[in-house]
Amino acid sequence: MDVRIRKTERLEGRVKIPSSKSYTIRALIAAMLADGEVTVKEPLISRDTRACMNVCEKLGAKLKLEDGDVLKVLGVGGTPAPQSGLIDCMNSGTTLRIATAVASLSEKPVSFTGDESLRSRPIQPLLDALAQAGVHGEAVNGNPPVKVRGPFTGGRIEIAGNLSSQYLSALLMTAPLAEKDSEIILASPLKSRPYVDLTLSVLGKFGVKVKNKNYSKFQIPGRQKYGAKEYVVEGDYSSAAFILAAAALTGGKVEVLNLNKDSLQADKKIVEILGKMGAKIEAKQNSVIIEGGNKLKGATIDLSNSPDLLPIISVLGACAEGETRIVNTEHARLKECDRINAMATELFKMGADLEEADDGLILGKSCLSGCEVHGWLDHRIIMSLAVAGLCAEGETKITGAEHIDVTYPDFFKDLKTLGAKIN
């Protein structure tokens, strides 16, 4: 699907942001592992979460979607019962990594794969960690397809903390069901810490105990049970970031609903960043209000804990006065694509003054011009380029734009509701 966007002077109105993908996937996997039935309310229904639902069913859970916003999950009681054959995680890296670990609780071999993008994302560090808990794992040159055979017995596990927080989240969700107690030790400082906080929050809601020793060591008693009966998924700051940035770069006033002011989500940082860059923004208890028209100013933005914000912050930086530096975000190269290079490539086509660094981007005030850009099969690249198109002279054409359905299927519809010129 191609999308054409023209410069838009003003966005106005209210939009309800979809539920969090990160919370939905963790809640679904926790519910899959639970004893009895769990009601997951207001889950995100998107391509990534449907992939997770499919994986949960292939690991033995029974799922029933009711009225579009209630999902009933009958869990496996801590022991996955995997079906034979290759289980497809599509484009969902979170699903792949967490499911690979929890599937290793079974003694039956389980294999996972995904689309071309997912098959390029590393998983060997997780397999090396699982091996310390008695799991046999195989991958193709360290990438999916991946095969594991348990049982995961627990014990002492050491893993790097600076590669992907998803590895640690996978271990944290698996270890409580092991026969032995577990101790997970980080061999390097943890990056993307808020995603681990998010995992710990879900575990707590399901009655699972984890002792966090200052994010360098985690002690997890074995033989626990996942015991929640209901879980409500909150709105997604990651998706909201694109609407908020679009509003900041145009005129008008926009209220983004379904955002919990006390959220643990890493990408809640977008509110702080926009304020730092000079946007007029107000966080209320369950929404964020932003007024466009203020000139944004450049800043140094450390995204070590929020790498998913890099694409949209790069657009803000290209439109802001002065210099913007995005730093400590080298792990953004290991996402659905190399997001640093992707944004550098596409914004350069639009006339941006930028320099690509190992760990981020350096951007100067630019006069963007519409042209044909490529979405890199990455939902966050597509949505960021759409926001850039709202600010660019002329028309911007984004190819491969259908991949927004990974997290935010109604993104273009919501932008049009606010007044964006989109075909």
Domains and CATH numbers, the chain: 3-18+235-422 (3.65.10.10), 21-220 (3.65.10.10)
Instruction: Give the model confidence (pLDDT) of 136-179 as tens digits.
Output: 999 989 999 999 999 999 999 999 998 889 999 999 999 999 99
pLDDT value for 174: 98
Instruction: Give the model confidence (pLDDT) of 94-135 as tens digits.
Output: 999 999 999 999 999 999 999 998 999 999 999 999 999 999
pLDDT-based confidence at residue 191 (cuts at 50, 70, 90): confident
pTM metric for this prediction = 0.93
The answer to whether 131 and 100 are in contact (CB under 8 A) is: no
Whether 308 is a known active-site residue: answer yes
**What's the length of the chain?**
423
Instruction: Give the model confidence (pLDDT) of 53-64 as tens digits.
Output: 999 999 999 999
pLDDT value for 338: 96
Count the helices and strands in the chain (H runs, E runs): 12, 24
Q: Please state at what angle helix 47-58 crosses helix 93-103, rounded to 10 degrees.
A: 10
Catalytic residue among 236, 267, 308, 405: 308
In 48-203, the DSSP E strands lie at 62-66, 70-74, 86-88, 110-113, 136-140, 143-149, 155-159, 182-186
pLDDT value for 141: 92
Return the ∠ at Cα 264 (arms to 283 and 324), rounded to 5°.
Answer: 65
Specify which residues 361 forms β-bridges with.
326, 356
Dihedrals phi, psi of 44, to nearest 5 degrees: -70, 130
Is the pLDDT assigned to residue 212 strictly greater than 90?
A: yes
User: C-alpha dihedral over 265, 266, 267, 273, to 10 degrees?
Assistant: 130
User: Among residues of the chain, what percentage have pLDDT more than 70?
Assistant: 100
Return the ∠ at Cα 192 (arms to 33 and 403), rounded to 5°.
Answer: 75
